[in-house]
């Protein structure tokens, strides 16, 4: 059996530097880190024992192939799908979450000790990469579960999802949907100005660090109004309903701009969530919130986006007949 890959080379180097730095000074933290590393290795070993999801398997009269996996995942309802996902995929998701928690533990250790603050940014980057993988997996799953989509889109999403399940120990997040990775990295650097609530400056800053495919998505003639609304939710990290409410407030009060500090009182909230890259888990929180809200609108036939921006973007890219590297 080949060696199990727990960390990417960059992650491995970072962990080794942290371990060497604290080994002689903080024995309690050192022992804790080593225990968590061993737990990750055990989990990775368990995952590697399961057969490849991309190879054919036969058990008596049943043959499992990529095509049979595709047919199964595209034909099951949401409550039933979890029981038809391969065990290797379930363990792999747990492994990704375990890695996120491991790096968060290191982040807590480093940020609370002045001599280790140099590690903080690198740890945040490691956390972000693994959060991106977890979020990408959920984007693919959401597309697969939507039986209103064209079959080719859902089939292509299964293919990408299966590759994510199969290779997460080998390649990490960079192997999968780089356009999503670039979009999320760009969003990490963006702090919305709000202002006129039009989002022009924010969109320019976001688009500066993404690929030409992103511009193809935005500039196509067939772009839908709901896709624009989903983009606004992504930029402002407010719901469609909140954005409409703030715009109505500006109009009723003859105002042209709004400051971030004003939003809590306008929306009747104690605070406004700020996704600014300080905690990469906020990206996953943002995606989950937008997904839940969009599903509710779709079921209730309400105005506003019926999918997240990430889903609209991937549906656009996956609508071709064959999956290509994005």
Residues 193 and 278 in one domain: yes
Q: Is 278 a member of any domain?
A: yes
Residue 86 scores a pLDDT above 70? yes
Contacts of 245 (CB under 8 A, 6+ apart): 266, 267
Residues 239 and 102 in one domain: no
pLDDT band at 206 (very low <50, low <70, confident <90, very high): confident
Residues 165 and 181 in one domain: no
Q: Is 40 a member of any domain?
A: yes
Domain boundary among 146, 171, 196: 171
Provide the residue range defining the domain that includes 207.
Answer: 177-326
Q: How many helices (H) and strands (E) does the chain have?
A: 15, 2
Residues 154 and 196 in one domain: no
Phi, psi for 275 (deg, rounded to 5): -90, 100
Q: Average pLDDT for residues 243-250, to the nearest whole number?
A: 93
Residues 257 and 208 in one domain: yes
Residues 13 and 107 in one domain: yes
Contact 269, 222 (CB under 8 A): no
Q: Average pLDDT for residues 114-139, to the nearest whole number?
A: 92
Which of the two residues, 52 and 227, has the higher pLDDT score? Answer: 227
Residues 160 and 106 in one domain: yes
Does the pTM surpass 0.85? The reply is: yes
| Structure letter (DSSP) for residue 2 | P
Q: Is 195 a member of any domain?
A: yes
Residues 22 and 116 in one domain: yes
Domain boundary among 171, 206, 227: 171
Q: Is 284 a member of any domain?
A: yes
Contact 269, 192 (CB under 8 A): no
First to last CA, the chain: 31
State how many domains the chain has. 2
Positive or negative, the CA dihedral 210, 206, 159, 319 is: negative
Q: Is 61 a member of any domain?
A: no
Average confidence score pLDDT of the chain: 87
Q: Average pLDDT for residues 216-221, to the nearest whole number?
A: 91
């Amino acid at each position: 059996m080949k060696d199990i890959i727990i960390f990417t080379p960059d992650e491995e180097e970072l962990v080794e530097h942290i371990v060497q730095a604290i080994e002689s000074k903080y024995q309690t933290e050192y022992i804790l880190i080593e225990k968590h590393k061993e737990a990750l290795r055990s989990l990775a070993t368990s995952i590697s024992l399961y057969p490849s999801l991309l190879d054919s398997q036969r058990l008596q009269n049943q043959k499992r192939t990529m095509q049979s996996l595709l047919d199964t995942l595209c034909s099951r309802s949401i409550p039933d799908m979890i029981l038809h996902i391969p065990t290797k995929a379930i363990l792999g998701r747990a492994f990704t979450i375990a890695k996120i928690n491991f790096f968060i533990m290191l982040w807590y250790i480093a940020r609370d000790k002045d001599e280790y603050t140099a590690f903080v940014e690198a740890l945040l980057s490691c956390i972000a990469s693994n959060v991106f993988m977890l979020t990408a997996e959920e984007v693919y799953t959401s597309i697969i579960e939507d039986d209103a989509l064209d079959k080719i889109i859902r089939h292509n999403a299964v293919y990408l999802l299966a590759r994510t399940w199969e290779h997460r120990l080998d390649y990490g997040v960079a192997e999968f949907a780089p356009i999503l990775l670039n979009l999320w990295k760009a969003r990490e650097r963006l702090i919305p100005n709000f202002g006129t609530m039009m989002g022009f400056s924010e969109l320019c800053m976001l688009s500066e660090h993404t690929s030409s495919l992103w511009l193809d998505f935005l500039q196509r003639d067939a772009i839908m109004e709901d896709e624009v609304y989903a983009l606004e939710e992504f930029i402002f990290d407010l719901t469609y309903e909140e954005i409409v409410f703030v715009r109505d407030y500006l109009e009723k009060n003859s105002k042209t701009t709004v400051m971030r500090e004003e939003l809590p009182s306008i929306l009747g909230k104690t605070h406004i969530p700020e996704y600014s890259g300080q905690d990469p888990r906020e990206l996953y929180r943002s995606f989950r919130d937008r997904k839940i809200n969009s599903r509710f609108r779709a079921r209730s036939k309400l105005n506003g986006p019926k999918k997240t921006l990430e889903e609209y973007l991937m549906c656009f890219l996956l609508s071709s007949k064959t999956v290509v590297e994005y």
